[in-house]
Amino acid sequence: MDNTPHILYEDNHLLVALKEPNVLTQGDKTGDPNLLDMLKAYIKEKYDKPGDVYLGLVHRMDRPVGGVLCFARTSKAAARLSQQLRENQLRRDYVCVCTGQMPARFTLVDHLAKDEKTNTVKVVPSYLRLGKEAILHGRIIASVGDTTLLAIQLETGRAHQIRAQLSNARWPIMGDHRYGGARKRGNIALWGMRLTLAHPITGQSMVFLAPPPMDNHFKPYQREIDGLAAIWPAVAPGE
């Protein structure tokens, strides 16, 4: 595979990159290539840095999912971006293609707990006091046949959150075999399309946008996704 990262923005404090589907965000026990190490190698080579390169991981994406991620190039930037994430000021907007009947706008509030045996997360009753609260907001963009294009805004960032919550609501994501999605060719139809944040040093509002690859899941919605790309710098799914 090509280990050259796709950089959307970089300065002395902030780096924003595109994660390709099926690439790890950071290393795990598999030892497979991961974006964090790729970016460190990129910085080390570009700026001829000796020793270890610092790069702070601010948020993650599930391995099958692609989209926009930000990283911190200094510890001060990492602390400030992490605070934005905790306070829901670092906003992550996704697009996905699902099946099922859902309302035009919706909010899902669930408790998610990890199942170690299956390496999945499951929605559990809140009274069990297991897992963590997961909140997302969504709206319908368009429908084609028995599939629907959704815009999703995360309020929390749990592992497998969008996939597990939509599956629990009986709206599984196309291509997401682990969570009940239809077994069709192509990647999972979930993509981190927009990232909004305040620059960790200057405070400037910044919006990063990257439409998904037009594979067999997203291709029927190319016009609608192009339309989102035109308006999303100013309008969020929940607005």
Strand boundaries in 104-213, DSSP class E: 105-115, 120-124, 132-144, 147-154, 190-198, 205-209
What is the rounded distance in angstroms from the CA atom of residue 184 to the CA atom of residue 159?
23
Measure the CA dihedral 120/121/124/130, to 10°. Answer: 110
- Token look-up 């990063």 returns 208
Catalytic one of 2, 32, 52, 62: 62
Q: Is 117 exposed, middle or buried (0-12, 13-18, 19+ CB in 10 A)?
A: exposed
3-state secondary structure 150-166: EEEEECCCCCCHHHHHH
What is the rounded distance in angstroms from the CA atom of residue 93 to the CA atom of residue 53?
29
Verify whether residue 32 is a known catalytic residue.
no
Across 81-103, b (16+ Cβ under 10 Å) vs e yields bbebbeeeebbbbbbbbbbeebe
DSSP lists the bridge partners of residue 198 as 205
Computed from CA positions of residues 6, 204, 157, 162, in that sequence, does the dihedral angle turn out positive or negative? negative
- Token look-up 């749990």 returns 158
- The residues that are catalytic are 62
